Structure 1
């Protein structure tokens, strides 16, 4: 299941850099869950031909990501955002007394969240601008 999601996301990111036929076959296979036989019939090629297109397309996607690293950066960005969301949910679950009894602690937690968001944004934008 993890490979399915990974290739589908790689296809979203880099699909425009594949040949139209590779992109279409991968889209049908990973996003629409069609079988090799169904795709072969649609494209009037053999199942082996479909299999070869899928494998070459996957190799191309992984090669592109190895050079550009957008998938790794995107997943790290998502993980960071999810961490911020969890921290905000923890703060929201605090009893009202906590806000009155220790406003400094709440403010510090919110400032930490703000900094984490700024770091995530700076890292993502900085990497994109510098092609790292």
Structure 2
């Protein structure tokens, strides 16, 4: 996965599952991915080592991917969006049934 693609994926996962992370994990993630601070800047901000920040960010990535693997909220949301797009263009009621199945 390339950096831009990885960042987009993580940002989408964070928007769904960020609240499940600890406050510190959320802060590290936000500072790194949203505010574009370097590892060193975050380390100085939290008075920890650069390696500690790096490790926390790796843990956050693992947690976000694990949440999606188990809960599949992002995947289901994408499927729902695709079905809604098809429904708008075809007005086929089969897609409504497919949408209802996603909620089961």
TM over 0.5: yes
Aligned residue in 1 for 2:35 = 32
Partner SS state of residue 95, structure 2: helix
Map residues 6-85 of structure 1 onto 2, 5 A cutoff.
Answer: 6-80=9-83
Q: Distance in 2 between matches of 1:3 and 1:45?
A: 25
Aligned residue in 1 for 2:102 = 127
Q: Distance in 2 between matches of 1:8 and 1:120?
A: 29
Aligned residue in 2 for 1:115 = 92
Runs of 4+ that moved beyond 4 A: 79-85
Q: Distance in 1 between matches of 2:63 and 2:32?
A: 16
Aligned residues: 101
Scaled by the length of structure 1, the TM-score of the pair is 0.64
Q: Which has the larger radius of gyration?
A: 1
Q: Distance in 2 between matches of 1:7 and 1:121?
A: 31
Scaled by the length of structure 2, the TM-score of the pair is 0.80
Aligned alpha-carbon RMSD (Å) = 2.4
Structure 1 residue 75 displacement after superposition: 2.8
Aligned partners of 1:10 and 1:71 also within 8 Å: yes
Structure 1 residue 16 displacement after superposition: 0.6
Aligned partners of 2:86 and 2:95 also within 8 Å: no
**Structure 1 unaligned regions, length at least 5:** 86-109
**Structure 2 unaligned regions, length at least 5:** none
